[in-house]
Amino acid sequence: MKKTLPLLIILSSLLFADGIIIPPHPPVGPSPRPIYLNVKYHHVFIKIRDNVAQVSVDQVFTNPYTYELEGEYLFPVPRDASISEFSIFVGDKEIKGEVLGKEEARRVYNELVRKRRDPALLEYYDQDLIRAKIFPIQPQGDVRVRLQYECVLEREGGLYAFTYPLKPEALTRDPMKELSLEVLIEARNPIKTVYSPTHDLEIDVSGNTAHLSYEAQNIRPREDFRLFYSESGEELGMDLLTYRKGKEGYFLLTITPGAKPEEIEPFPKDIVFLLDVSGSMLGKKIEQARKALRYFVRSLSPADRFDILAFSSDVRKFSPELVQADSVHRARALSFIDSLKARGGTNIDDALREALALREEGNRPFYVVFLTDGRPTVGTTMPGRIVEDVKENLGNARLFVFGTGYDVNTLLLDALAAMSRSEPEYVEPDEDLEVVLTNFYDKIQFPALTDLELDFDGLDVEKVYPVNLPDLFYGSQVLVSGIYRKPGKFTLVLRGEERGRERVIEREFEFPDEAQDLDFLPRVWARRWVGYLLSEIRLKGETRELVDEVTELGKKYGIITPYTSFLVKEAPDEVSEYLEGNVLGAETGKRAFKLARTLSEIRASASVSGELEEKLDLKRVLDKVFVFKDGFYVDTDYKEGMKFEEIETGSQDYFRFIEEHPEWAPYLSVGDKVIVVLDGKAYRFTSK
């Protein structure tokens, strides 16, 4: 989020982040204004061993003003955590703090809310609290906080779950300068699944150890950091996360291949590299593509068969048929790659026809890696006809599509990938194409399970994504999200091909009648499903039913789409570009490219929010989304015309309401003027 929001005193948008320092009084003067501290850096190291997490936190706050401040440091302690170290340093002076239990912490929160009319302090109303008084904080001076705590990880659906309180709207005058999270997992058994619904992590898994990292600069964190992982032996497995409140339940099923056997050989495959060498590829792009092709060829297993097709106005083959990847053919292929020049038009239809015609009968996987930077200009140029031609010849082949540059026909590439159970990759003109292609090839070297089918065995599910499951490769995982209606125990059956033979995995899971801990799951499902619906609209055209569903989901879950622009007050340029005009029907150009890439990322992701939503003033608390409208933060579950009970923020009725319903306190943290629907009843909280 780019906007600077009011923060440490009388701020309607204050939420706890990791830890905060609150100056108790505004400066003396005719026009006092809020005082905010900045965060120079915030480093977190999390070591998980035997399912116990040791969390080490190092923060430095900076007083950006020219006057001395007094402050109060607050840190919400995760449930059931044990504090082993806590120190605050102001210059050379060390300040000790105190740990308050939940009841005493509530009293402190109530006192602070009454004093400052600061509802955002209610976000962690049900947790213990570390508190310390800090004085003096010198002008331009730093305050360093170091703490360490331990907590036992809970189990959620067969996975271990960990949360670090890094809440939305970082509490600084300016964006947080530096944030880093590092996680080291040392497990008793090989690590199977590693998943974060909140942060895009760099993940390195090796046997029983996983190293995860996240770094960002100049940001305002919007979500607590949440992590899930599971252990297994060598076997492929499934794990389930669920959320249910009311009649609808949501699930996220992770399908993981287990540890890759150390001595495993790449499964023999047939692969065709289909490269656009039209004139528009001249220069950097053709050179990067040649480098990637060289890597592909050198990485082939002797048991593989391959061919290279270079196309422009016509199609040039390395070989008239698939050849064995022995040393002689690989050497010849490298010479062929060196000879490729960029010239001519773009004959996509003939190129795809000839590539697919190379497939031979048998059980060997057949892959086509298709890279183009343009739209069809030679031969058959109608995208619909090209799609039909591919559909007639595709069979069980896998087509992996890469579009580079803004001139690609995104509708055509999306349709081609969708037929082949894969996501298209869109590469910006200034991105390193070689890196993208080589990373992809490393992944597909080891298919763990192909032609996946999932049977829910009587479980009433709907709106399951992906509609068609992709292949499963070692080092990756497949995520399946959806809605379930009837709770109970059900056996899920996964079928697929494993190195030429059928494999069947059965697992019994509990789909509970009530489960409200994993409040992010409805948003995970909604983002992926909206991405799918928008792709359907792009490929098949608008229908009233599709548009209405996208609009309703966008409003309910705070998802920015071309149909939910009403969520946006002052959209940044990137969001405006996404919303303006009929981009859903656009085939080529920068805006069509950006849209196609965004939708591909949404469909493939399993996070609670994306880059577009991060740029807007939407507030998410637990399972609700609030949109700012006419001076109020309005719950998207609120419908115009609903009768409501009105309560003044900070009044006796207000605190009585919180004491009677402490589980609802976080919903009031979004501001001092809130409209929220709780247990089917609307409440309107006002401020004088």
Q: pLDDT digits over 279-304, tens only?
A: 888 888 888 888 888 998 998 989 99
Tell me the two tokens of residue 201.
């992590």
What is the C-alpha to C-alpha distance for residues 262 and 439, in angstroms, rounded to an integer? 20
What is the C-alpha to C-alpha distance for residues 197 and 590, in angstroms, rounded to an integer? 29
Q: Phi and psi for 600 in degrees, rounded to 5?
A: -60, -45
What is the C-alpha to C-alpha distance for residues 208 and 188, in angstroms, rounded to an integer? 6
- Quick one: which H or E segment has residue 576? helix 573-579
Tell me the two tokens of residue 467.
């509609």
Tell me the two tokens of residue 90.
């102001």
Domain boundaries, the chain: 20-231, 237-262+448-461+478-511, 270-444, 521-614, 630-686
Query: What was the pLDDT predicted at 11?
Result: 23
At the top level of CATH, the class of 270-444 is alpha beta
CB atoms within 10 A of CB 52: 12
Using CA atoms, how far residue 219 sits from 61, 215, 304, 522, 558, in Å, is: 15, 10, 47, 25, 20
Question: Which one, of 405, 404, 376, lies nearest residue 313 by Cα?
Answer: 376
pLDDT at residue 544 greater than cutoff 50: yes
CB atoms within 10 A of CB 218: 11
What is the C-alpha to C-alpha distance for residues 508 and 504, in angstroms, rounded to an integer? 13
Q: Phi and psi for 222 in degrees, rounded to 5?
A: -115, -10
C-alpha count within 13 angstroms, C-beta hemisphere, residue 355? 31
DSSP string, 530-571: HHHHHHHHHHH---HHHHHHHHHHHHHHT---TT-GGG-SS-
Q: Contact at 8 Å (CB) between 190 and 235?
A: no
- The correct answer on CATH 3.30.70 for the domain covering 237-262+448-461+478-511 is no
Q: Which residues pair with 217 in a beta bridge?
A: 178
> pTM value?
0.78
* Mean pLDDT along residues 48-73: 86
Q: Which residue has the tokens 């490729």?
A: 340
Query: What was the pLDDT predicted at 614?
Result: 60
Q: Contact at 8 Å (CB) between 213 and 183?
A: yes
* Mean pLDDT along residues 139-149: 88
Residues 565-593: tens digit of each pLDDT: 555 555 555 555 555 545 566 777 787 88
Range list of β-strands (E), 80-197: 82-90, 93-95, 98-100, 128-137, 142-152, 154-156, 159-164, 176-186, 191-195
Amino acid letter for position 380: T
Query: What was the pLDDT predicted at 381?
Result: 83
Q: Which residue has the tokens 């070297």?
A: 445
What CATH number has the domain spanning 20-231? 2.60.40.3680
Query: What was the pLDDT predicted at 338?
Result: 92
DSSP string, 504-539: EEEEEEEE-S-B-S-TTHHHHHHHHHHHHHHHHHHH
Tell me the two tokens of residue 507.
């697992």
Q: Contact at 8 Å (CB) between 231 and 254?
A: no
pLDDT at residue 199 greater than cutoff 70: yes
* Mean pLDDT along residues 233-258: 85
Q: Do the bridges between strand 501-511 and strand 478-484 make them parallel or antiparallel, or are there none, so unpaired?
A: unpaired
Are the folds of 20-231 and 270-444 the same?
no
Question: Using 50, 70 and 90 to split pLDDT, how confident is the model at 184?
Answer: very high
Query: What was the pLDDT predicted at 681?
Result: 93
Question: Using 50, 70 and 90 to split pLDDT, how confident is the model at 671?
Answer: confident
* Cis before 257 (ω within 30): no
Query: What was the pLDDT predicted at 578?
Result: 55
What is the C-alpha to C-alpha distance for residues 389 and 353, in angstroms, rounded to an integer? 7
Q: Which residues pair with 324 in a beta bridge?
A: 305
Query: What was the pLDDT predicted at 324?
Result: 96
Using CA atoms, how far residue 46 sits from 18, 80, 92, 226, 518, in Å, is: 14, 16, 27, 12, 21
Tell me the two tokens of residue 444.
């597909």
C-alpha count within 13 angstroms, C-beta hemisphere, residue 74? 24
Question: Using 50, 70 and 90 to split pLDDT, how confident is the model at 609?
Answer: low
Query: What was the pLDDT predicted at 636?
Result: 87
Which residues, at least 6 apart from 493, have a Cβ–Cβ distance to it below 8 Å? Answer: 454, 455, 457, 504, 505, 506
Which residues, at least 6 apart from 146, have a Cβ–Cβ distance to it below 8 Å? Answer: 56, 57, 58, 59, 85, 86, 87, 88, 89
Tell me the two tokens of residue 442.
């490393």
* Cis before 466 (ω within 30): yes
